[in-house]
Structure 1
Amino acid sequence: MAELCVFLVVAAGRGSRAGAGGPKQYRELGGRQVLTRTLEALLRAAPDARALTVIHADDRDLYDAAVAPLSQDLRERLLPPTIGGATRQESVCNGLDTLARVCGADDLVLIHDAARPFVSAALIERAKDAARKGAGIPGLAVTDTIKQIAGDARIVATPERATLRAVQTPQAFRFGLIHKAHLSAKAEGAGELTDDAAVAEWAGHCVFVFPGEAENGKLTTLEDFVRAEAKLLNDLPDIRTGMGFDVHALGEGDHVWLGGVKIAHTQALIGHSDADVLLHAITDAVLGAIADGDIGAHFPPSDEKWRGASSDRFLAHAVALVSARGGRIAHIDATLICERPKIGPHREAIRARIAEIMDLPLDRVAVKATTSEQLGFTGRQEGIAAQAVATVRLP
Structure 2
Amino acid sequence: MKEGDTVLGTIDNGGSLELAKGTHTLTFSKTGYWSVTKTIDVTSDMSVSIEMYPSSAAFKLENFPSNISIHESTIYTLTFTLSPIETSATYNTYLSLSGLSDIIEVRKDGSLVSPENGKYYLGDISGPTQISIKFKAGAVGQHGFTITLTSNDAIMSKTYTTTKQVVYKVEPLPFSVQMPSEWQVGENQLRISESSGQSYLVTAVLKDSIGNEVWSASHAFSPYEAYTFTPKIPKEGDYTLELQWNGQTAVYDVTVNPVITLKTKTLTVQKGGGGTIVLHFKNPSSDVQYYTIVVSGGFLPAEINQSISVAPLAEKDVSIAFAVPEDLTYDAYELNVAVMQGNATVFSDKVAVTISDDSGFSLFGGASSGGKMLLYVLAGLLVVGGLVLALRRR
TMscore range, shorter length: under 0.3
Structure holding more helix per residue = 1
Q: Which has the higher contact order (CA 8 A, sep 6+)?
A: 1
Q: Which has the larger radius of gyration?
A: 2
TM-score (norm 2): 0.24
TM-score (norm 1): 0.24
Structure holding more strand per residue = 2
